Amino acid sequence: MARDAHSVTGTAAPPGEERGLGGQRLLAFARTLQGAVDFSALTAMVAEEVRGALGYDNSWLSVFEDERLMQARLLTVQGPSEVDVWKHATVIPVEGDWMMEQIAKGDRVVVIEDALTDPRVNHAIVDQLKNRTIINVPLRFIDRPFGTLGLGTFGDEGPRPPTEAEVEYLIAMAAHVSVAAARIRLTEERALAAADRLDIERRLAQRQRLESLGLLAGGVAHDFNNLLMVMRSTAAVFEAERGLSETGRASVAMLLDAVERARDLTRQLLALGRKQDLRLAPLDLNARVRKLVALLRRVVPASIAVDVIEGPRLPLVSADEVQIDQILLNLCLNARDAMPHGGRITLETEQVVINGEYVRAHPWAKPGRYVLLSVTDTGTGIAPELIDRVFEPFFTTKPEGQGSGLGLAIVYGVVRQHDGMVHCYSEPGVGTAFKVYLPILEREADEVGSKIAGAVPGGTERVLVADDHPGARRVMVDLLTRAGYTVVAVEDGAQAVEAARCEPFELVILDAVMPRLGGGEARARIRELRPGARFLFASGYGADALSEQLTAEDAREVLAKPTDPDSFLRAVRRALDRR
């Protein structure tokens, strides 16, 4: 039976009154809440008060994730049933769940006297948790509900509905909890906004620093070329002298060789300073990638595999063929050097549109239509504190004597001179991805599809994530949740099969290699249980290495690790939309 605050009837000498649920206790509780600095502390204080005042051992706080009140997300739980609640009720959709719909209205306390026998509750969750009495008190901020304070009994505790006095006390408690929660949320949002502002300022400062270094390098190269011209001409005069001794000729030859090497260096400096002469022409980037791969296979060891994923109907770009080859070669050789013990290089092309929303979130981005070239490796990765410096001239993470520190700086300069963009994403121990954006040739622009990198599409589908790496699993859950999906996360393939047995999922994301049960075998078992499920494999080895595990259909969506958040969400959307 479900009740609200107006339908609860008390008995003589109710437990709540015996505990003294009066104004003094409430005032003391309100003073205690002033010390709550985060939701964890707030929930601990609420849990202590609920136990002391009402005798309930389990309590929780949930918040609605957006103003549309589409789903509630669990913030914190206190009590013996904490682990199970986190496992089965992290995110609960509102629509279609009678109790959640009542909570979203935010105008009354919702009491389920015995959830095991009440037909209106969500038994997909209740049967797992073995809820008995459930009490949800709405939390309101100004004129709208933003969450709920919940408490209740489970399993052998049996049902224990609250008395009228206890409900009245909960309503008064919720008012104070709402104020404290709103204060904490406002504080956190301000701190997050300040952190975002500092991050944007840091990235803008980095871009300005690179631009300044580029201008300096270009100026130095210009003056240095003048000196080299004098040196080259003078050496040529000496070389033409008939009476010059063999020793003299050898010295002139050494001088001319040094001049040539210095000229190559100035070309690189000019590329860094975006001052070199470009021979722009319509260019098919897929064709350039194919040509480079033929060369690349001869200069990388056999322990490094090279994969190519060509975007279909790729528009042309206006680019200098020689400089684009230089970019590709620099990025691939950099990837090779990051994998001394072997690994995989993946080159991928696609057409994207960068819009205003994406630009606001990424200070380095410019709106427009682009061909995106991604070069991804499974190497050592780059430490977070160094990621902002990778494009600086003469900065290198390689051992002394290996590399000039100009390779990535040249990539940056060449891309910028093509009016493009380049971005680096890396995870230490997982790998690195460089993203090069080149503007689509003007006459091709109208033929570009609607694929958008800026407004990364989200959704409301249910997604199961199975990955044995805690960090990778946490990142995927966070990204999917922020994009609107309902997510359940497990640690291996066996748990994924059990989760799919209990409830349906539109998409299952599987790590290719996991303990107990690998991604391929897990996919086969889940497909038997849920024939309509779609799958997305996350792998550091690429589709070729998984060819024995994958069907032709599944091989179309293998996500190479590492990947940036937007590419991950686009791959999820493609997998869900696949027919």
Domain ranges of the chain: 2-189, 205-272, 280-447, 462-577
- Given this model, what pLDDT does residue 515 score? 79
Beta carbons within 10 angstroms of residue 52's beta carbon? 11
State the Cα–Cα distance between residues 96 and 102, nearest whole angstrom.
11
> Are 510 and 522 within 8 A, CB to CB?
yes
What beta strand segments (E) does 467-552 contain? 486-490, 507-511, 534-539
Q: At what angle do helices 470-482 and 565-577 cross, to 10 degrees?
A: 70
Closest CA to 368 of 274, 454, 458, 280: 454
Span 457-466, average pLDDT: 88
- Answer yes or no: CATH 3.30.420.40 is held by domain 2-189: no
Q: How far apart are CA 200 and CA 157, in angstroms?
A: 52
- Per the prediction, the chain carries an average pLDDT of 77
- pLDDT, mean of residues 163-191: 83
Q: How far is the C-alpha of 20 from the C-alpha of 166, rounded, in Å? A: 10
**Which range has the top average pLDDT, 100-114, 367-381, 442-456?**
367-381
Which class is domain 462-577? alpha beta
What's the mean pLDDT in 173-188? 81
Taking the C-alpha atoms of residue 436 and residue 103, their distance in angstroms, rounded to an integer, is: 48
Q: How confident is the model at residue 500 (pLDDT cuts 50, 70, 90)?
A: very high
Percentage of the chain beyond pLDDT 90 is: 16
Q: Which residues pair with 110 in a beta bridge?
A: 136
Given a cut of 90, whether residue 159 has pLDDT beyond it is yes
pLDDT band (50, 70, 90) for residue 488:
very high
CA angle 533, 536, 537 (to 5 degrees): 130
Average pLDDT of span 180-193: 77
Among 101-110, 241-250, 408-417, 567-576, whose mean pLDDT is lowest?
Answer: 241-250
The confidence score (pLDDT) of residue 222 equals: 53
Is 0.75 surpassed by the pTM of this model?
Answer: no
- Check pLDDT > 70 for residue 96: yes
Query: Average pLDDT in the 460-472 region?
Result: 85
Which one has a higher pLDDT value, 222 or 459?
A: 459
Dihedral, CA of residue 568, residue 569, residue 570 and residue 574, to nearest 10:
100
Residue 487 near residue 465, CB atoms below 8 Å: yes
State pLDDT tens for residues 315-369. 999 988 878 888 888 898 889 988 988 999 999 999 888 876 677 777 778 888 8
Q: Is the pLDDT of residue 212 over 60?
A: no
Q: 189 or 301: whose pLDDT is higher?
A: 301
Q: What's the whole-number mean pLDDT along residues 238-264? A: 74
Least confident range of 251-265, 440-454, 493-507: 440-454
The per-residue pLDDT for range 48-80, each reduced to its tens digit, is: 887 778 888 888 888 887 777 788 888 778 888
For 14, residues 6+ apart whose C-beta sits below 8 A from its C-beta are 163, 164, 165, 166
Are 139 and 174 in contact by the 8 Å Cβ rule? The answer is yes
Residue 579 scores a pLDDT above 70: no
Question: Is residue 220 pLDDT above 70, yes or no?
Answer: no
Cis peptide before 562 (omega within 30 of 0): yes
Lowest mean pLDDT among 22-26, 128-132, 463-467: 22-26
Q: Is the pLDDT of residue 19 over 90?
A: no
Cβ pair 382, 432 in contact under 8 A: yes
Res 155 pLDDT > 60: yes
Report the pLDDT value the prediction gives residue 188, as an integer from 0 to 100: 76
Annotation: CATH topology of 280-447 = Heat Shock Protein 90 (3.30.565)
The mean pLDDT of 515-536, rounded to a whole number, is: 88
The pLDDT of residue 206: 53
Q: How many residues does the chain have?
A: 579
Question: Residue 478 to residues 301, 481, 576: CA-CA distances in angstroms?
Answer: 37, 5, 18
What's the pLDDT at 84?
A: 87
Q: Read off the DSSP letter of residue 547.
A: T
Q: Are 73 and 481 in contact (CB under 8 A)?
A: yes
Residue predicted with more confidence, 373 or 172: 373
Residue 505 has pLDDT above 70, yes or no: yes
Q: What is the pLDDT of residues 269-317, one digit of tens each?
A: 555 444 455 678 899 999 989 888 877 877 788 899 999 999 888 899 9
| pLDDT score at 541 | 47
Q: Could you read off the pLDDT of 373-390 as tens digits, one per residue?
A: 999 999 888 888 887 777
User: What pLDDT sits at residue 525?
Assistant: 92
Produce one character per residue of 229-256: b if its CB has 16 or more CB atoms within 10 Å, e if not: eebbeebeeeeeeeeeeeeeeeebeebb
Give the per-residue pLDDT at 497: 93
173 Cβ contact list (under 8 Å, min separation 6) = 26, 29, 46, 49, 137, 149
Which pLDDT score, from 0 to 100, does residue 16 have?
Answer: 42
In angstroms, the Cα distances linking 479 to 62, 66, 69, 473, 474 are 19, 15, 19, 10, 9
Residue written as token pair 């994403």 = 425
Query: In which band, very low, low, confident or very high, does the pLDDT at 144 lie, cut at 50, 70 and 90?
Result: confident
- Choose between 89 and 225: higher pLDDT: 89
Cβ neighbour number for residue 219 with a 10 Å cutoff: 13
Q: Are 132 and 158 in contact (CB under 8 A)?
A: yes
pLDDT of residue 5: 42
- pLDDT confidence bin for 526, thresholds 50/70/90: very high
Among candidates 210, 221, 422, 203, which has minimal Cα distance to 331?
422
Which stretches of 65-222 are assigned E, i.e. beta strand?
Answer: 71-78, 91-93, 110-112, 131-141, 144-154
d(CA 484, CA 572): 12
With 0-12 CB in 10 A as exposed, 13-18 as middle and 19+ as buried, what is 401? Answer: exposed
